[in-house]
Structure 1
Amino acid sequence: MEHFFTCPYCWQQISMILDPSEELSEYIEDCEVCCRPIEISFRFEDGELVSFEARRMEGI
């Protein structure tokens, strides 16, 4: 599933492919525009995306 969100550093809209088979996931991914690390967390319930958050890394 493709999901669009705004980078918390450069404010550019970027997209990410999310796997609905992973009900809960948290990881770090670099922004494809500014290359800064973003903390990504999302949750699926019954194949539907119910929460998504993209946060700045503290201290960066």
Structure 2
Amino acid sequence: MLERMLDFRTIHCPYCGQALDIAVDVSAGDQDYIEDCQVCCRPISIALAVDDQGRAHLSARAENDA
């Protein structure tokens, strides 16, 4: 059975600037997903990259930013 490895990170909403604590599942590998801001409810595009040591590298941007 695969053990889930949760890592908790703080990001800032690209819309309202609020600091948000989110949990990321590094056992699933690289991921791109949308998470709504807990304050302004706007969609944040999250990109998660997991390196060879299992460390999470996270970026957050507005949903429509290139």
> What's the TM-score once normalised by structure 1's chain length?
0.87
Unaligned runs of 5+ in 1: none
Aligned residue number for residue 40 of structure 2: 34
Unaligned runs of 5+ in 2: 1-6
Kindly, what percent of the aligned residue pairs are identical?
38
* Larger gyration radius, structure 1 or structure 2: 2
Of Structure 1 and Structure 2, which has the larger fraction of its residues in strand? Answer: 1
Cα deviation for residue 57 of structure 1 reads 1.6
> What's the TM-score once normalised by structure 2's chain length?
0.80
Of Structure 1 and Structure 2, which has the larger fraction of its residues in helix? Answer: 2
After TM superposition, what 4+ stretches of structure 1 lie above 2 angstroms from structure 2? Answer: none
